[in-house]
Amino acid sequence: MKNIILAAAVALFIGMVGTPVWIRIVRRLGYGQMIREEGPSAHHGKRGTPTMGGAVFIVGSLAGYAAAHIFTQTPPTVSGALVLLLMTGLGLVGFVDDYIKVFKQRSLGLRSGAKMIGIILVGVVFAIGALNFPNGYDVTPASDRLSFLRDFGPSIGPYLFVLWALLLIAAVSNGVNLTDGLDGLAAGPAAMVLAAYVIIGNWQLRNSCFNDGLAPNCYSVRDPLDLAVVAAAVLGGVFGFLWWNAPPAKVFMGDTGSLALGGVLVGLAILTRTQFLLAILAGLIVMITLSVMIQVSVFRVTFKLKGTGKRVFKMAPLQHHFELSGWAETTIVVRFWLMSALFVAVGVGLFYLEWMPKG
């Protein structure tokens, strides 16, 4: 528990203090956010807002994790290192994307193909590492089975697992990126999911199959406590960032932050053996991603059939539909936060109910 508190506290401090410093640096360099011309007109006033703020909570998370292990004199684990590697690697891909945007003063950064190559390279390293490094019980950070509340079904083999992990990584990281369209909209729900993983990691530790007294329905997760420490460190960093990102935002996380957050969420889901549970915990992100998929699919199909594309929403992602419907930005953010809290509550409730001894 000390590790969790220390990691969150250090990361929170760095996020609170470091973000305004980062804002001043970015302003001095003239690295302001570019806004898409086809986006809602209300967003044009946000042009020039300092961006790449995700770099601060990435650094804060790494520092918080390191400080927790140094102060408690406990060694870091492979599981924790892998999730942080995934977060940092995707954050670097996003940083390059953001830098191109602000350097060339355009709303598009890396080409989609180049960005996907970067995501794949980082994801492959994570997935391969997750299937190696067994502990004394011959348990690796991840298993080559699918999981919901724990592993289920037969092994899918290492090759299919790597492809499955890449699909999850690409889907979740891009989902967070799509959600990051209003001030605080991505950071708030991400923080709630991270808080859920602090609870899940603690619960898995207390009911681990590697404890002296085996609990009923125990969990075969390699390093549950350290995964909770990682979740707490990132949670603290995001809290510190959110203080400055709350409407009206003084800084944006950019692709640097959104890709990194997607990486840490999916990394925690894979290593805690809760892959499909993440779809519930991050239900708001899933809903926003589906709105884009529906919009694009319907438009393309109707365009081919009728020569005129039909739109389901006034604009996608979903938050922009409500903006164009007359909702205030803060109203959308708060209501979406409430929806996210409900998704997280349902997810954590299912996790707990599954564990309860039957009978």
Omega within 30 of 0 (cis) for the link into 248: yes
pTM score of the predicted model: 0.93
Instruction: Tell me if 344 sits within 8 A of 192, measured CB to CB.
Output: yes
Question: What is the predicted pLDDT for the residue at 106?
Answer: 64
Give the pLDDT of residue 341: 98
- Reported confidence tier of residue 19, pLDDT bands at 50, 70, 90: very high
Quick: pLDDT tens for 156-196: 999 999 999 999 999 999 999 999 989 899 999 999 999 99
How does pLDDT run across 297-333, given as a tens digit for each residue? 999 998 888 777 888 999 989 999 999 999 999 999 9
In a domain, 338, yes or no: no
Containing structural domain, residue 108? 1-277
Residue 89 has pLDDT above 50, yes or no: yes
Q: Which range, of 57-66, 206-215, 225-234, 285-294, averages the lowest pLDDT?
A: 206-215
Q: For position 347, what pLDDT does the model report? A: 97
Q: Which residues contact 212 (CB under 8 A, 6 or more apart)?
A: none
* Predicted confidence (pLDDT) per residue in 65-81, tens digit: 999 999 999 999 999 99
Contacts of 41 (CB under 8 A, 6+ apart): none
356, part of any domain? no
Could you tell me the two tokens for 150? 């724990």
Domain-located, residue 291 = no
Question: How much is the pLDDT for 356?
Answer: 73
Compute how many other C-beta atoms are within 10 angstroms of the C-beta atom of residue 164: 16
The answer to whether residue 343 sits within a structural domain is no
> Looking at residues 50-66, what average pLDDT do you find?
94
The annotated binding site for Mg(2+) is made up of: 177, 255
% the chain with pLDDT above 70: 92
Question: Does 8 reside within a domain?
Answer: yes
Identify which of 44-53, 100-109, 247-256 has the greatest average pLDDT. Answer: 247-256
pLDDT attached to residue 44: 46
| SS3 of the chain | CHHHHHHHHHHHHHHHHHHHHHHHHHHHHCCECCCCCCCCHHHHHHCCCECCCHHHHHHHHHHHHHHHHHHHCCCCCHHHHHHHHHHHHHHHHHHHHHHHHHHHCCCCCCCHHHHHHHHHHHHHHHHHHHCCCCCCCCCCCCCCCEECCCEECCCCHHHHHHHHHHHHHHHHHHHHHHHCCCCCCCHHHHHHHHHHHHHHHHHHHHCECCCCCCCCCCECCCCHHHHHHHHHHHHHHHHHHHHHHCCCCCCCCHHHHHHHHHHHHHHHHHHCCCCCHHHHHCHHHHHHHHHHHHHHHHHHHHHHHHCCCCCCCCCCCHHHHHHHCCCCHHHHHHHHHHHHHHHHHHHHHHHHHHHCCCC
Residue 188's Cβ-count burial label (10 Å; 0-12, 13-18, 19+) is buried
| pLDDT for the residue numbered 99 | 87
Q: Tokens 């804002």 identify what position?
A: 23
Q: Is the pLDDT of residue 248 over 90?
A: no
Examine residue 326 and state whether it is found in any structural domain, yes or no.
Answer: no
Measured distance CA(117)–CA(115) in Å, rounded: 5
Domain count, the chain: 1
Q: Within a domain: residue 308?
A: no
pLDDT in tens, 111-131: 888 999 999 999 999 999 999
**Binding residue numbers:** 177, 255
- Would 319 be classed as within a structural domain? no
Q: What's the burial of 241, exposed, middle or buried (CB within 10 Å: 0-12/13-18/19+)?
A: buried
**Whole-number pLDDT of residue 317:** 93
